Chain A
Amino acid sequence: MTTRTPVRIALAAVTLTLALAACAGGTPDTPDAAPEPAPPATPAPAGETAEQDALVARAATDLAVFAQPGDAAPSLTLPATTGFGSARALLVDTVDGDWLRVLLPTRPNGSTGWIRRGDVELRRVDQAIEIDLAARTLRLLVDGRVVVSTPVAIGTPDNPTPTGRFYVVDKLATGDPDDTYGPIAFGLSGHSVELSDFAGGDGQIGVHGTNDPASIGQAVSHGCIRVANDVITQLADLVPLGAPVVIG
């Protein structure tokens, strides 16, 4: 039996040598390894700079909003649903530990407040809407890619569409394609600067369809953004509550 151990050692040495040789052949830094061709560079189209992967806070119950993180008492309490019945969704601007700074759907435009992270469910949103007032166009971007681009009607010079960073607060179905707002209307977090109230509301800006398709491309509204009915129907299938809307 003493002759078996040297044989086993010799077999083990041969096996180990073969194994090491096989591993070395697959390493990427092998000089004779053919490099994979680099993918062609694809420059991003101009203007595709809308924010991606936005965070949206969803609240299932009334939500306490604080002026500063750690404040003892809230400065505001938002109901669990909007006045139209939409689920409460807030666009997150900053994450600071257990606190979130959110854009508020209140006047003045651009208002922010702090909420506790534990009070909401966080969702990542890949969709973003960009509205170019000069070009009178709306684009929907998903993961930074334009998936919808369409002409729009905007506010008149006396009742201009406000500019800034907003988000979708409401998604409403009118139930009537011939309604003034068309079949679908998005309510935004922004408000008209000129009008403190309108049609029984508080001057909230919207993106909606229309029963006047000839107005698309014109500056004829009281501040809302009008799109064709088939477009707003398409947007309704793609855009969640809380999606950012940048108007400029």
Chain B
Amino acid sequence: MNLTSGTRMLLVALTLAGSVLVAPAMALAETPANDEPIGPDDLANPTENPEPEPCDEPGDCLANPTENPEPEPCDEPGDCLANPTEDPGPGGEGGNPEPPADVDEPVLANPTFTG
């Protein structure tokens, strides 16, 4: 087909114009529908939960510590039987315990002391 140069230029121009019009339409057709608009808050607070960072610095995890907390005081009898912090009392510290002196009961007998 013999076309004049003017006709060929017109066809090229029409082709280009069609491409420009069709491409956005195809792009809109492939984009899923989003019920809610994306606002600035969504960008600042991503919906995905990131992995928690390790508590590798003092004070990192004050609100939700993952390290061992301070031991509780032994303020009730029996609290610290396994690891007592209270004074073990006389005879403690690894020594032989010395029981309190018992007051002996008298023995029934006839004395022969120097009255």
Contacts and interface: CB of A to CB of B under 8 A. Distances in A.
Partners in one complex: yes
Interface of A: 1, 4, 8-9, 11-13, 15-16, 56, 84-87, 89, 122-127, 155, 159, 170-175, 180-181, 184-185, 187, 192, 195, 198-206, 208, 221-224, 226, 236-242
A87 B104 contact: yes
Q: Which secondary structure dominates chain B's binding surface?
A: loop
B105 interface: yes
Contacts of A206: 111, 113-115
Contacts of A180: 115
Interface in B57-115: 57-60, 62, 90, 96, 98-115
Contacts of A226: 115
A203 B110 CA distance: 14
A84 to B, nearest CB: 4
B111 to A, nearest CB: 4
Interface residues of B, number: 27
Q: Which secondary structure dominates chain A's binding surface?
A: mixed
Contacts of B106: 171-173, 184, 236
B113 to A, nearest CB: 3
A239 B103 contact: yes
Contact of A195 (B58, B109, B111, B114): B114
Given A12-B58, A16-B58, A86 B104 contact: yes
A240 B101 contact: yes
Contacts, number: 124
B114 A8 contact: no
A195 B113 CA distance: 11
Interface of B: 50, 53, 57-60, 62, 90, 96, 98-115
Nearest to A54: B101
A188 to B, nearest CB: 8
Given A223-B114, A240-B101, A240-B103, A172 B60 contact: no
A42 B18 CA distance: 113
A4 B58 CA distance: 14
B104 A56 contact: no
Nearest to B61: A8
Contacts of A122: 96, 98
22 contacts: A8-B57, A12-B58, A13-B59, A15-B59, A85-B109, A122-B96, A155-B114, A159-B114, A172-B108, A172-B109, A174-B109, A174-B111, A185-B111, A185-B113, A198-B114, A199-B112, A199-B113, A199-B115, A201-B111, A206-B115, A224-B115, A240-B102
